[in-house]
Amino acid sequence: MPDQPTPRDAVVVGGNRIPFGRANGAYAAASNQAMLTAALDGLVARFGLAGERMGEVAAGAVLKHSRDFNLTREAVLGSALDPTTPAYDLQQACGTGLETVIQVANKITLGQIEAGIAGGVDSASDAPIAVGEGLRKALLKAGAAKTPLDRVKALAGIRPGDLAPETPRNAEVRTGLSMGEHQARTAKEWGITREAQDELAAASHHNLAAAWDAGFFDDLATGFLRLSRDEGLRPDTSVEKLATLSPVFGKGEGATMTAGNSTPLSDGAATVLLSSREWAQERHLPVLARFVDAEVAAVDYVSGDEGLLMAPAYAVPRLLARQGMSLQDFDHYEIHEAFASTVLATLAAWESEEFARDRLGLDAPLGSIDRSRLNVHGSSLAAGHPFAATGGRIVATLAKLLHEKGPGSRGLVSICAAGGQGVVAILEGC
Amino acid sequence: MADLVQLLTSNPLARQLGVPQPTRLRRGRDLPTGPVVVGAAGGAPTLVRRTLDVLGVAADDALVDTPQTRVTETTDEGRTRQVPAPYPGAVGAVLVDATAATAIEDLEALRGVLRPALRALEASGRVVVVGVEPETAGGPVAVAVQQALEGVVRSVGKELRKGATANLVRVDLLTDAPTTATDLASTLSFLLEGRSAYVSGQVLHVGHADEARVREITSQRPFEGQVVVVTGAGRGIGASIAETFARDGAMVVAVDVPAGGEGLSQVANRIGGTALQLDITAAGAGQRIAGHVAQRFGDAARIHTIVHNAGITRDRLLVNTDEERWGSVLEVNLAAQVRINEVLLDPDLPGGLDDGGRIVGVASTSGIAGNRGQANYAASKAGVIGLVRAMGADERLGARGITVNAVAPGFIETEMTAKIPVATREIGRRINSLQQGGRPVDVAETIAWFAQPASAAVTGRVLRVCGQSQLGA
């Protein structure tokens, strides 16, 4: 049997994203491919990788045109990278970006590649619109028809109602409920208050604005189509202003979720450069953080047994147990703000004795976190959330934070995803 | 709108109506097609001949016009007249060594060399006169004669057509650190080649440097393996500067504000450099540049050249200018580079400016002539001129072999000048001896000449790249 490679460290060298746009805003006319290519080219320029062949580029999009079946490879071919760089698409809803990081890191750890780029892109503006199911079936039948008469018969079967297009909906296939409706149930269940949600949202905007002002994103983002900051960022928002908004998810008196404490639909792309330590050192490239470990969990939200976006509450304890760490062992927590209440419900679950006992089978809850270490430079509520791009944004941001903190510092990433899934990971500063 | 004006002025009808047509200038590393001829005004052309030997450029003796050597020519109308004996074909360049010119009669020798050569000069041909710094020339007459050379060259520049240029080079011969042929080589090479396409009617100065510092004289890639930092590299002239240095072998660090990142990454990727997004006015900008260099090229790496190209305009008449509009221009165009230089000149800073390094600023003809509505901009650009003169005279920098110079571009065709109102723009294009706007590469080539290791003897100087614009001349 040939020698097995010894597992080794995969490290984050850096990242690049384009500023995130609001749906139908600055990037209204930009395709996923154009945005992903721009994000890749900015990364290539930052690290002087023009003409280099990478081990692979892994990326994906949640809302994807059927013609974009090879989206990432096409973006690579349009970028300054060596065209012999292989690429593939991956999709795990909002977990896509982080899942690509896990994939690329694992291949580096196993010695299958030396360096790779992970990432994701999404456009809520340039979303695919498909023909209705009736029309699609009729067209397929007509295409398969052997005689002209059969073809006519097939097409004659089309009814006016079949002509309505199918637009993508932010709804769960199995429940028909939007993500917001699902989360409204969870928020209610955990008793998450409107005030707490608005406070988290205001902090996200203020922290992100301060980070842009301080130049934190100078080496994490590259302007695109005249956008040089996140379009949805509201530096001057406040708890008071947010309190004036009417709830949009949930019903009646207990409704707490507004457009202000929920992420807006967004457009954008993000990438992360990962490599072996040797590869980075040979090229005099920075080593920001080590990829430590990751875990993915899923919950049965269809039966109503668990909330749609609560899977990270299960993934994190499993990951901590495997690594022999406690929830308090981290210098930074990056919890994706799908909704302010998602973050707060997840934190509440970790603090709950019942949840620990009944759901996690643990003697004691994970406990609370130092909230001053949470999303210190803002998160999705302020930056926006182009679904597949969020993982790349968070990993690059966290890696830089940990590098600034110093060697041995630790960071936890937690991202909830449609379909009742949760992708979480640990990074360690270098 | 630009295209409409071009159409009106450059179509065949306009040509027939006598609208002056711009010549396509010879650019790049090409030497003149015709022969290079050499003459002297007072004494023998020793320095020029030696310099051409260093460059490996062959040259013929120039013909000299005297009453005795003239020939009879019959005009189309059948009349006859006495003309200088003609060259057998077109002349590519005429070089006149006037370093020994001390008497007024020596100027007649200059005329004698120039007259036949100008009659035969090819398109984009070159006239180069080499003299000494007048104040070192000796007595009042010698000083007057050396000063007279400038009047001749500036007038000839205005007389030349078809993209030909005329320039004067002043050297030190009568001081204790005389200019050598190796000192002069990079400048003569620049003037002969297409790189100096848009430089005309100017006075260039070459001093003396330790022979060990004057390197890569004939190299096509004089910056091979050297780190060159260019600010404002995301577009326009800055992008062209980055491309020119990369062509000549440099590892380019392309710097621009984060908002200009899209263009910056395209430039960096095209030239195989690295992009550094940075607000040059931010605290710690110099440290971040040095940090980037030390990180990307190793702890021992140092910067060979920094080009302070980033600049902004906030035009408004002074009567309408507030402190913000005033200050922001001075901050970006002048104060930022002062601070960055201070940081990079620390000899112990990893990633700082190397001994034998270069600082090149970008001034402007507005900084020399002033411009209505640009008091803030002119202040900053004139400030750059003062800065390089002071730093060029700084003996501590001299001891380290660091030179400091600046270009002063005239009307250059860029996105920025394309936004100038059409009439003003057309005037800007036309009121110069080459009767056209320059290209970003013309500025870039001049900066690269200042930065060449072979240009060690050129410091504290400002060279206009303006096609001999009449503004401030």
Could you tell me which of A409, A120, A417, A412 has the C-alpha nearest to residue A294? A412
* Known active-site residue A403: no
Q: What is the pLDDT of residue B27?
A: 96
Is residue A326 in some structural domain?
Answer: yes
- CATH H-level, domain B15-73+80-208: superfamily: NAD(P)-binding Rossmann-like Domain (3.40.50.720)
Is residue A81 in some structural domain?
Answer: no
- Select the residue of A41, A51, A218 nearest B258 (Cβ to Cβ): A218
Query: What string of DSSP letters covers B372-436?
Result: TT-HHHHHHHHHHHHHHHHHHT-HHHHHTT-EEEEEEE-SB-STTGGGS-HHHHHHHHHSBTT-S
Residue B261 to residue A222, Cβ atoms within 8 A: yes
- CATH H-level, domain B219-465: superfamily: NAD(P)-binding Rossmann-like Domain (3.40.50.720)
Per-residue pLDDT tens for B419-445? 888 888 888 899 999 999 999 999 999
How many contacts does A have with B, using Cβ atoms within 8 A?
Answer: 74
The dihedral formed by the CA atoms of B195, B201, B203 and B209, expressed in degrees to the nearest 10? 10
Q: What is the pLDDT of residue A410?
A: 98
CB B37 within 8 A of CB B94: yes
The alpha carbon of B267 is separated from its chain's Cα centroid by a whole number of angstroms, namely 23
Q: What is the pLDDT of residue B15?
A: 63
Is residue A223 in some structural domain?
Answer: no
Q: Chain A residues with CB inside 8 Å of B270's CB?
A: 50, 80
**CA B424, CA B386: separation in Å to the nearest integer?**
28
Count CB-CB contacts under 10 A for residue A252. Answer: 6
Distances (CA, A) of B10 to A4, B4, B14, B412, B428: 72, 10, 6, 18, 16
Does B242 reach chain A within 8 Å, measured CB to CB? no
Q: Chain B residues with CB inside 8 Å of A225's CB?
A: 262
Count CB-CB contacts under 10 A for residue A280. Answer: 23
Is residue A345 in some structural domain?
Answer: yes
Is residue A272 in some structural domain?
Answer: no
ipTM here: 0.85
Q: What is the pLDDT of residue B416?
A: 81
Count CB-CB contacts under 10 A for residue A12. Answer: 29
For the domain that residue A378 is a member of, what is the CATH number?
3.40.47.10
CB A250 within 8 A of CB A307: no
Q: Chain B residues with CB inside 8 Å of A80's CB?
A: 269-270
**CA B158, CA A257: separation in Å to the nearest integer?**
75
Give yes or no for residue B4 having a pLDDT over 70.
no
What is chain A's pLDDT, residue by residue, as a tens digit (430 residues)?
Answer: 566 667 899 999 999 999 999 999 999 999 999 999 999 999 999 999 999 999 999 999 999 888 899 999 999 999 999 999 999 999 999 999 999 999 999 999 999 999 999 999 999 988 777 777 788 888 888 888 888 888 888 888 888 777 777 776 677 888 888 888 999 999 999 999 999 999 999 999 999 999 999 999 999 999 999 999 999 999 999 999 999 999 998 887 778 999 999 999 999 999 999 999 999 999 999 999 999 999 999 999 999 889 999 999 999 999 999 999 999 999 999 999 999 999 999 999 999 999 999 999 999 999 999 999 999 999 999 999 999 999 999 999 999 999 999 999 999 999 999 999 999 999 999 9
Q: Give chain B's mean pLDDT.
A: 94
Residue A80 to residue B269, Cβ atoms within 8 A: yes
Give yes or no for residue B2 having a pLDDT over 70.
no
Give yes or no for residue B471 having a pLDDT over 90.
no
- Number of compact structural domains in chain A: 1
**CA A275, CA A335: separation in Å to the nearest integer?**
24
Q: Closest Cα of chain A to B456: distance in Å?
A: 30
Q: Chain B residues with CB inside 8 Å of A41's CB?
A: 265-266, 269
Q: What is the pLDDT of residue B1?
A: 42
Is residue A383 in some structural domain?
Answer: yes
Domain extent for A301: 179-215+292-429
Could you tell me which of A127, A122, A128 has the C-alpha nearest to residue A33? A122
- Select the residue of A44, A80, A221 nearest B258 (Cβ to Cβ): A221
Q: Where in chain B is the domain with CATH 3.40.50.720?
A: 15-73+80-208, 219-465
Per-residue pLDDT tens for B180-224? 999 999 999 999 999 999 999 999 999 999 988 999 999 999 999
Residue B268 to residue A45, Cβ atoms within 8 A: yes
Q: Tell me what percent of the residues of chain B surpass a pLDDT of 90.
A: 85
Is residue A413 in some structural domain?
Answer: yes
Q: What is the pLDDT of residue A136?
A: 80
**R_g over Cα of chain A:** 22
Per-residue pLDDT tens for B326-382? 999 999 999 999 999 999 999 999 999 999 999 999 999 999 999 899 999 999 999
Residue B262 to residue A38, Cβ atoms within 8 A: yes
Residue B269 to residue A44, Cβ atoms within 8 A: yes
Q: What is the pLDDT of residue A130?
A: 73
Write the single-letter amino acid at A311.
A
Q: What is the pLDDT of residue A160?
A: 76
Residues of chain A contacting B, Cβ within 8 Å = 38, 41-42, 44-48, 50-51, 80, 215, 217-219, 221-225, 228, 284-286
Sequence-distant (≥ 6) Cβ neighbours of residue A164 within 8 angstroms: A132
